[in-house]
Amino acid sequence: GESVGLHLPTLSVQEGDNSIINCAYSNSASDYFIWYKQESGKGPQFIIDIRSNMDKRQGQRVTVLLNKTVKHLSLQIAATQPGDSAVYFCAENISPGANSKLTFGKGITLSVRP
């Protein structure tokens, strides 16, 4: 598998439990945030995004929460499944436009116990 998962923080959860993956972003000017999932041997895959004018957004089994006061982003996965095992990255962007950059966090490994 991808060596990118080594030396990253790891969250271990029981199958069926809810998972909460946290991310502290760096730039208070960031106004767009994305969560990505990266499985072994694959590129990062878009999960869900949120703009800074929102504090919560829900998708299928996933919820993203944004706390701009403390620059904190979280991804909640309901009823975690073995297929959710992967490395998860948060990414931030400043006013998506010509000169903005999507900056990725270091990543967190989610391990689902059967």
Partner 1 sequence: DAGVIQSPRHEVTEMGQEVTLRCKPISGHDYLFWYRQTMMRGLELLIYFNNNVPIDDSGMPEDRFSAKMPNASFSTLKIQPSEPRDSAVYFCASSRMRGIHGYTFGSGTRLTVV
Using CB under 8 A as the criterion, which residues of the chain lie in contact with partner 1 when the complex forms? 2-4, 6-7, 32, 34, 36, 41-46, 49, 89, 91, 93, 96-107
Q: State which residue, 18 or 28, has the beta carbon closest to partner 1.
A: 28
* b (16+ CB within 10 A) / e for 12-26: ebeeeeebebebebe
Shortest spacing between CB 96 and partner 1, in angstroms: 3
**Tokens 């490994």 belong to residue:** 109
Shortest spacing between CB 7 and partner 1, in angstroms: 6
Give the residue among 33, 107, 42, 35 at the shortest CA–CA distance from 75: 35
Shortest spacing between CB 106 and partner 1, in angstroms: 5
